A and B are shown apart, each in its own frame.
Chain A
Amino acid sequence: MQKILLSSTLCATMVCASIDILPTEKRTFEQSKFIPDISLILDASFVNRDIADDEVTHLEIPGIAHGLIGTHGHDGDTHTSNNANNGFNLNYAELVLSSSVDPFFTMDGIFHYSENGVEIEELYFTSTAIGFGTKIKGGKFNSNFGYLNEQHYHSYSFADMPLVYESFLGMHGINEKGLQLQWTAPTSTYLMIGLEILQGDNEQMFGNQTIGFTEDGSISQYADAPSLFVTYAKTSFDIDDTTILAGVSYAKGTTRLDRSDEEENAYAISGDSMLYGIDLTIKHYFNSYSFLSLQSEFLGRKIEGILYSDIDTSVMPYTFTAQDITKTQSGIYTQLIYANNKNWAMGLRYETFLKNDIILDNINSDKPTNLDKYSLMIEYNTSEFAKFRLQYNRNNALYNEKGEQQHVNTIILQANISIGAHAAHSF
């Protein structure tokens, strides 16, 4: 009896369930068709570096940047660079969501998941209805400064960011909250002019926060935000199957670098800075799949302000030494990429710093400029959605704490895999 009851209930449930399964278009309040385009990108690597992980975090590019590679603790947060450790690295998982909002806007969200947490890499709306070649973007985004800054790490031609970018601007480049206005000229030759107003809290170069206490004990007062302004012009033309793309970029902002809690060498810099860039890409296509490209970018910067050193935070107000500082630095990277077909590509890259002047109270502290790096890579794409890259770097730009130049050799085997929506390529 019980058995019959049970089976009849089961049957009834199954009938009900089968009635419930309606085709999508007949479900009254069905919204699944509004799901945005979704993609997920994995970037992982195997690294073999001829220097220990503990040691590499203490290396610096003298006068330019400290601790570029490795895992660092900042205010209780752990911050890891890409390809940080010897052995296996899970650099990040990138989740991309994008869709139209309404007839006037689209929205894109790019989230970086790492083992230390989630970052909103980009989250912005873009206008689609203004016309006159004009579009407005707002939210958090990668600035279109230069050639490489707007691109995501996984669309670079190498497994790491060029030194000049990473050391001047940090591993995220100019990635800021703000507004962007771009205008494409109504000419047959491509000409685009852009203007950006950004919050200005780049960890390596810009900033506007008070350093020290806000009361009279402060080392340096805040600057009014937004405090970073970027402008650029880009142009491009074709000569048969060769495309030339060139751009000039300029950024101006305030600098508030607070390194007062660092154990080794506590300091802070407060001032004004500017960054300019020139980029050139020449790409020749042999057919639909094979090309040779030469891409180069020059970045120069000037930071003028006050350097606070010997900071003692144990007494109130803080004690410190203040000196006038002017940093005038520039660097360049040049890369040559040859893609044989859809599957194979190879490339070499040369990077160097051209200028590294640090003037403290009118005395040039003669920082080295023989800072260069060589990279070689070969990549295999099993399809458009999976890339495996083998890269060798020889980095002569890093110095240890004793002030000795290091020659760091690194082999990186990188895997970059994506699923979901097909991302359109940009030039």
Chain B
Amino acid sequence: MKFFLILLLPLALFAKLNIAVSYPYIGALTKSIGGKNINIIVLAKGDWDPHFVVPRPSLISKIRNADGLIINGGQLEIGWLPQLINRGANPKTKVGAKSFLDLSHHIKMILKPKNVDRSGGDIHPDGNPHFHLDPNNILILADTIKRYLSSIDITNSKAYEKNYEIFIKMFKIKIDEWNKKMSNKKGLKVIQFHNNLAYFIKAYGLKNIATIEPLPGIPASSKHIMNLIKLIKKEKPFCILHDVYHSTKTAKYISSKTDIPIVLMPHDINSLDSIKDLTSLFDYLTSALDD
């Protein structure tokens, strides 16, 4: 009996559009625009490395049953999503479908490598894909998602337009607030683990002087760490900005040798318990450097 109830479950969801999204931030943004007309299915967990999502078979079912798929793009999902899309065998979620959206195509990406070669580590040939951490890009993405939803669900396009206006109005007020909060941080030097805050750093005029990973995806050698300690002692950066999914062991060692603090920087919704939506994500990020 219970099994049949499980079988019938998706029928109950037919009334709304089921939009699968790769990461929680896309889910939250899409929900803000889609409102009550859509259901969001988030594939990746917010507290895990967005590059390394476990391709669990349950995700195949989520893709199979979706009416559309929105991805970050910029090769962030290259290691886990293509196989799931193939296995889901859903024409609505395949690359190039009208109901498939690659957000990276609508953003001007920065740090595009001049030389695409894996001797430079696990690089992203189209540029740094962590663009959602500049709140100004969220405005562009909101517009992109509004137009996407309107194109696949014309009957509700007025509702999407209305939700979009409300969201933009609210978010612009927040952006002003965050700009004010960050105005005295211009030129502040920081160290990162992986350059996943590139857009945040650019938006607020911070200066990333080095990363703990010598090259993207390559663990630090002791020689690299020694050089880093020397550099920190010379340049005196404010802190080490650290993501939540890599071990902080190396950062703690560097911190103990140089007396600069480690500041944990959430990259997505649910990456820390207190980050429940987009505004709380940027509230946290813009307050993190206050100490």
- Residues of A near any B CB (own CB < 8 A): 100, 103, 106, 126-131, 133-135, 182, 184-192, 234, 236-238, 243, 245, 283, 285, 287-289, 291, 341-343, 383-385, 419, 422, 424-427
- CB of B55 to closest CB in A, whole Å: 5
CB atoms of B57 and A385 under 8 A apart: no
B89 CB–A CB distance under 8 Å: yes
Q: Which of B9, B91, B217 contacts A384 (CB 8 A)?
A: B217
B194 within 8 A of A: no
**Closest CB-CB distance, B278 to chain A, in whole Å?**
22
| 28 A-B contact pairs sorted by A residue (CB < 8 Å) | A127-B89, A130-B89, A130-B91, A131-B89, A131-B90, A133-B88, A185-B7, A186-B64, A189-B58, A236-B58, A243-B56, A287-B245, A288-B49, A288-B52, A289-B52, A341-B247, A343-B219, A383-B122, A383-B218, A384-B217, A419-B118, A422-B78, A422-B79, A426-B55, A426-B83, A427-B54, A427-B56, A427-B57
Q: Which listed residue, A103, A192, A236, A289, touches B49 by the CB 8 Å rule?
A: A289
- Nearest chain A CB to B235 CB, angstrom units: 29
CA–CA, A389 and B109, complex, Å = 38
Contacts of A191 on B, CB cut-off 8 Å? 61
CB-based contact B79/A425 at 8 Å: yes
Cβ contact within 8 Å between A128 and B56: no
Alpha-carbon separation in the docked complex, A342 to B82 (Å): 20
Given A126-B86, A343-B219, check contact A188 B91 (CB 8 Å). no
Report whether A187 and B6 are in contact in the complex, using a CB–CB cutoff of 8 Å: yes
Structural contact, A184 and B58, CB atoms closer than 8 A: no
In the assembled complex, the Cα of A100 lies from the Cα of B217 at a distance in Å of 29
Residue tally, chain B, CB below 8 Å to A: 43
The CA of A155 and the CA of B48, in the complex, are separated in Å by 23
Interface string of B79-95 (1 = CB under 8 A from A): 11111101111111010
- Please measure, in the bound complex, the distance between the C-alpha atom of A22 and the C-alpha atom of B102, giving whole angstroms: 30
Query: Is B60 engaged at the interface, CB distance under 8 Å to the other chain?
Result: yes
What is the minimal beta-carbon distance from A127 to any residue of chain B, in angstroms?
8
In the bound complex, residues from chain A placing their C-beta under 8 Å from that of B87 are 184, 192, 426
Q: Given A383-B122, A424-B83, do A135 and B89 touch, yes or no (CB 8 Å)?
A: yes
Min CB–CB distance B43 → chain A (angstroms): 12
Contact of B57 among A182, A190, A425 (CB under 8 A): A190
Asked if B245 contacts A184 (CB within 8 A), the reply is no
Cα A103 to Cα B96 with chains together (Å):
9
Closest chain A CB from B90 CB (angstroms): 7
B54 proximity list for chain A (CB < 8 A): 243, 283, 285, 288, 291, 427
In the complex, what residues of B have CB within 8 A of residue A190's CB?
A: 57-58, 60-61
A184 touches B91 (CB 8 A): no
> Does B65 make an interface contact (CB < 8 A)?
yes
- CA–CA, A427 and B91, complex, Å: 22
- Give the residue of A106, A130, A184, A238 whose beta carbon is less than 8 angstroms from that of B60: A184
Q: Separation in Å of the A251 CB from the closest CB of chain B?
A: 21
Q: Which 3 pairs from chain A and chain B are nearest by CB?
A: A236-B57, A288-B49, A135-B89
B10 on the A face (CB < 8 A): yes
* CB-contacts of B166-182 with A (<8 A): none
Name the one of A184, A188, A426 contacting B89, with C-beta atoms under 8 angstroms: A184
| A100, A236, A245 interface centre (most CB from chain B within 10 Å) | A236
B86 contacts across to A, CB distance below 8 A = 106, 126, 128, 135
Tell me the bound Cα distance from A289 to B80 in angstroms: 13
Name the residue of chain A whose CB is nearest to the CB of B86: A126
